[in-house]
Amino acid sequence: MTSLPASPPTIAPRAFILAVLALLMIATRVNHFAAIPDASWAVFFIGGFYLRQWTRWAFPLLMVLALVIDVLVIRASGIGYWQHYCVSPGTALLIPAYFSLWAGGALLRQGYRSANWAALGKGVALLLVAVAVCQLFAQGGFYWTSDVVAEPTLGGWAKNYADWFLPYLRTAAIYVGLAAALQLATEQVGKLLQARRDVLR
């Protein structure tokens, strides 16, 4: 896992990153099981990493965007929001679920200097923990409060958690891995340009 250089991005790069993350969520969240998988979990992890200093308003903004997308997609299917299979009182737990991903990305940003094996190990561990906690809130909220689950049991919840954990982890890891590759490429280009400037002095 790679990350930002020591200096955090300025306002313009942060705004660009926020716009890209919002567009990515709009493009993929419309159908959670489409050929292009939903990037929402990765969006919040990456957002926490790049936009840590904007947490107070960037996280709520992306959270509202996720809700608006869900409402529009469900209404477009011809049913009310609260009548949809995936919606339950536990839907409110998506807030701490997604914030756990955001927090994972923000923790990865702390102390980061450049891409190295230590950063990779830290990134993998934080992504794994963040997805596990997110799944705990998101899946647990649905399982224990939805009318779809007629007789919830601890064993049933554990099986459902395990069944969905790896698919969600895999999808998040793919998107985060792509972001990491872009970050690494950006760092390498920056180093090459700096070396060239040093030679020309």
Q: What is the per-residue pLDDT across 57-94, written as a single tens digit (0 to 9) for each?
A: 999 999 999 999 999 989 988 888 888 878 889 999 99
Q: How many CA atoms lie within 13 A of 105 on its CB side?
A: 28
pLDDT digits (tens, 9 = 90+) for 166-189: 999 999 999 999 999 999 999 889
45, with CB counted inside 10 A (0-12, 13-18, 19+), is: buried
Please determine, for residue 201, whether its predicted confidence score (pLDDT) is greater than 90.
no
Confidence of residue 194 (pLDDT cuts 50, 70, 90): confident
Nearest to 128 by CA among 96, 161, 97, 173: 173
Average pLDDT over residues 129-151: 94
